Structure 1
Amino acid sequence: MNNITKEITPLTQNDCFTIFSRVKKEFNFPLHFHEEYELNLILNAKGAKRIVGDNVEEIEDMELVLVGPNLSHVWLTHNCKSEEIREVTIQWHKDFLDEKMLKRNQLSFIRRMFDRSTKGILFPRETAQLVYKRLLVIDQMQGFDSVLELMSILHQLSTAKSMRVLSDATFNNDQVLNYHSRRIDKAFEYMNANFHKPVALKDLAKLVNMTEVSFSRFIKRRTGTTFIDSLNEIRLGHATRMLIETTHSIAEVSFNCGFNNISNFNRFFKKKKNCTPKEFRENFSGTRVFI
């Protein structure tokens, strides 16, 4: 799994979801996974190759795929000759609809769909045709209306007939752990609220009433990453969002997101994103809306 990139998305705890829409000539993002759910509508890309988990297929000119958390996936140009590939991607947090809510009878279809999405779901063309116009304009809606629209779309998808699970196995990254813990939640809430300021291990250890050594081992065991890597990944998410939404210089983005050394920021960014902050901003085209 070393050649699979963990994507740090720009979604913050205060966002419900993000929608990203663009027209391009090729697919150039590497094989990756992330903790969020992702719904992908791909148009005019006949001949491109889709990889989800252990499933590899050449796609038609329209497809709609739901990818669950931490499932490796990518689209490759392959045999696609189109000059106007249309891509609409919606990402939302794992707890956008929490476990208690999903247990309600009225959400049973969505719950089953989410369960199946751990292996990836390809919706039938007929379903994609029914919802694609709604997906194309959801970013033009305002606030709560857009959240209701997304939930309505998810319900419609969950009742679709002939949806197909793509992967034979759940290719979740071995480093991704299920770390439900009030102490971890409290620590991550603090890091998200204070990412732009110096955050020391001793601050978090005191916050959760543990020694520094104990907390350092605890967060590594529960999340698979060190305290500083967890903090830097949070900062990176805010940095990518700032690169998208603002015209701040790279140095300003670095310092505003808590990276006090721009060289370290560039090095960490390239390690996680496979490109520099400058390349990320230059290569970014299209519209991304956070709701």
Structure 2
Amino acid sequence: MKPFVQKLPKQEFKSFVSVTFSTPLFETPWHRHLENEILYIKKGYGTAIIGDFVGEFSEGDLFYIGSNVPHWFRKANEDLFCTVVVIQFDKSIFGNSFLNIPELAQIKKLINLKQALSVNYELDTSLIEKIKGLEDAEGFDHMSRLLAILNSISIKTKNSILTHEHINSFDSKGIIDEIMEYTFNHFQENIKLEDIAGLAKMSESNFRRFFKLNTKKSFSKFLKEIRIAHACKLLKDKNLFVSQIFHDCGYRNITNFNRQFKEIKGITPSAYRAQVLND
């Protein structure tokens, strides 16, 4: 499957995209685009890979993805129905000087960000209504709502930076997307590097370099992050024992599972469960 530099069509008389996508249009391959993007998860949950970040997404999550940051969202299971509100805009719509006025300093900083953010909007409960209403807005209201949304994200929310290393390289043959799909579908199995390199039709040493160039991490770390993201989802079910969970995540012994979980999340599985269940 060939990855693409995504370009969503704009409606007539609108300078940027604001649209809702539901399954099966929710699911896209590993891709990037010149435009900045705001994603609000209206329904569904699963795994998000954004630049060098691997983690969960769930209903109510809000993401801001900077220009050219590659990303990939996959629902937790095949039968799940997912819906996302997408806002996609090129900063060129603001012209050469508009963003330079002092009143827009924080918005300019946000738009020029080459990273992705997880947006905590508890300080601005009206933000989601602004996002939902953008699709039907027209004329001046369409643009003014976008500025209001960007203003809220830049100064009225608590944002967590998700990506830390900018990915300059982008696979032009679809190999990374194929590897991600395979890993996502088989992470519960004993995946060997030689098998993955064979899938990519490369030697192990060439594949190691290729994967790191395109994701800023080793394949072993990527596989670990996929497994731990799945574990985090399962740990939210208080009826499941940790001894059950580590098997379902592709680990053969609980000691290795505990060690790798702490390495990725900074706390033990039991501590993570206590934290999320008490929130």
Give TM-score scaled by structure 1 length. Answer: 0.52
CA distances 1:266-288 after superposition (whole Å, capped 9, x unpaired): xxxxxxxxxxxxxxxxxxxxxxx
2:73 to 48, 51, 75: 75
Aligned to 2:116: 120
> What value does the CA root-mean-square deviation take over the aligned residues?
2.9
Aligned to 2:215: none
TM-aligned CA distance change 1:128 to 1:7, over 3 Å: farther
Please tell me the residue identity of whatever aligns with 2:22: V
Gaps of 5+ in 1: 176-291
In 1, the alpha carbon distance for the partners of 2:11 and 2:19 equals 15
TM-aligned CA distance change 1:149 to 1:72, over 3 Å: same
Give TM-score scaled by structure 2 length. Answer: 0.54
Aligned residue pairs total 172
CA distances 1:120-150 after superposition (whole Å, capped 9, x unpaired): 1110152574311221122222211111111
Aligned to 1:140: 136
CA distances 1:8-42 after superposition (whole Å, capped 9, x unpaired): 33249974111111333684210101111111111
Aligned to 1:165: 161
Aligned to 1:92: 89
CA distances 1:145-174 after superposition (whole Å, capped 9, x unpaired): 111111111111110342011111112446
**Residue 105 in structure 1 maps to residue 98 in structure 2:** no
In 2, the alpha carbon distance for the partners of 1:17 and 1:163 equals 23
In 1, the alpha carbon distance for the partners of 2:25 and 2:18 equals 19
Indicate the structure whose relative CO is greater, using CA pairs within 8 Å and at least 6 residues apart. 1
In 2, the alpha carbon distance for the partners of 1:128 and 1:75 equals 26
Percent identical pairs in the alignment equals: 21
In 2, the alpha carbon distance for the partners of 1:100 and 1:174 equals 31
TM-aligned CA distance change 1:39 to 1:105, over 3 Å: same
Aligned to 1:33: 32
SS at match of 2:22: strand
Please tell me the residue identity of whatever aligns with 1:69: S
Kindly indicate whether the alpha-carbon contact (under 8 Å) linking 1:44 and 1:82 is maintained by their aligned counterparts in 2: no
